[in-house]
């Protein structure tokens, strides 16, 4: 499978900066790249990537197609404007918006029904890590946030230890391999053709550590926050994935 490099821009950039960043990204043929801007910039990003092999995703979606949900955006709308991906279950959504696994599951179902590829984020907190609960947390999040009839070609799973996001602390190669091996095994027990599902690592990925993370077994890509906002850094991460 081609490595998948996803940029989660979170609540950052201006319209001008987003277009400038896209214009300066260099994407080799053997790497899949997706960028996930905030809602106001989705449409202009879709237009900006037209001549490039870059895909665009949302950072969340509502489970309903439409209705009286002030401030929300549906998977149907993301699909309508040309998005092909959506990040779901990010720890910042779980923390700041009280998202539970069951809410996330209904969003995953809605997104897959609209042919979006879901990047499902899972990962343990620092306290859970210290208490050796990492694998139990991952098992619970996978079991409860994936629908029973999940389709392998519409899913990517991002292992993002909460304590590694935006902190400059990355998990060790050994910990990443252990978590990814566990996720792969879990998926193979319940999803047909699960070997097609890219497993991404996320949490303080940067231009310096990307190559070594991407070379680990069962790491098929990375989900990048801060470093995806900087042209040189993001290009270096994309380049590190080429020929992996
Ligand atoms: P970070 O964010 O790369 O800034 O740690 C990753 C993420 O939140 O997906």
Mutate to test the pocket of ligand 1, among 6, 9, 158, 165 (most ligand atoms within 8 A of CB): 165
Residues whose CB falls within 8 Å of the CB of residue 91, separated by 6 or more in sequence, listed in order: 121, 123, 160, 162, 165
* Cα-based distances in Å from 109 to 23, 47, 123, 242: 33, 27, 20, 32
CA of 168 to the centre of ligand 1 (A): 9
Backbone angles phi, psi at 215, to 5 degrees: -85, -5
Instruction: For residue 168, give the 3-state DSSP assignment.
Output: coil
Per cent of the chain over pLDDT 70 is 100
pTM of the model: 0.97
9-32 tens-digit pLDDT: 999 999 999 999 999 999 999 999
* Cα-based distances in Å from 61 to 77, 89, 111, 136, 185: 9, 10, 8, 27, 28
Q: Residue 157: beta bridge partners?
A: 120, 199
How high is the pLDDT of residue 166?
94
Atom of ligand 1 nearest to the CA of 224: 3
Cα separation, 190 vs 156, in Å, equals 15
Which residue in the list 62, 160, 180, 186 is annotated as catalytic? Answer: 160
Indicate whether 51 pLDDT > 90: no
Residues whose CB falls within 8 Å of the CB of residue 97, separated by 6 or more in sequence, listed in order: none
**Contact yes or no for 206/167 (Cβ under 8 A):** no
Instruction: For residue 176, give the 3-state DSSP assignment.
Output: helix
* Mean pLDDT of all residues belonging to the chain: 97
Cα separation, 43 vs 90, in Å, equals 22
Known catalytic residue at 90: yes
183-227 tens-digit pLDDT: 999 999 999 999 999 999 999 999 999 999 999 999 999 999 999
């Amino acid at each position: 499978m081609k490595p998948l490099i996803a940029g989660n821009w979170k609540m950052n950039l201006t319209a001008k900066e987003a277009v400038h960043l896209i214009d300066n990204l260099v994407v080799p043929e053997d790497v899949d790249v997706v960028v996930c801007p905030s809602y106001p910039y989705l449409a202009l990003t879709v237009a900006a990537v037209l001549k490039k092999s870059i895909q665009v995703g949302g950072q969340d979606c509502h489970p309903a197609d439409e209705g009286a949900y002030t401030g929300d955006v549906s998977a149907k709308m993301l699909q309508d404007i040309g998005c092909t991906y959506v990040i779901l279950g990010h720890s910042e959504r779980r923390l700041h918006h009280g998202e539970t696994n069951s809410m996330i599951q209904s969003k995953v179902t809605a997104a897959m029904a609209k042919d979006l590829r879901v990047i499902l984020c899972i990962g343990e907190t620092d306290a859970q890590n210290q208490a050796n609960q990492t694998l139990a947390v991952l098992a619970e999040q996978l079991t409860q946030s994936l629908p029973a009839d999940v389709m392998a070609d519409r899913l990517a799973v991002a292992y993002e230890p909460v304590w590694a996001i935006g902190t400059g602390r990355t998990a060790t190669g050994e910990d990443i391999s252990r978590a990814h091996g566990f996720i792969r095994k879990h998926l193979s027990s319940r999803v047909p053709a699960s070997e097609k599902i890219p497993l991404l690592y996320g949490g303080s990925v940067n231009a310096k550590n990307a190559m070594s993370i991407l070379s680990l077994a069962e790491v098929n890509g990375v989900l990048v926050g801060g470093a995806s906002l900087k042209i040189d850094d993001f290009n270096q991460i994309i380049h590190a994935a080429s020929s992996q």
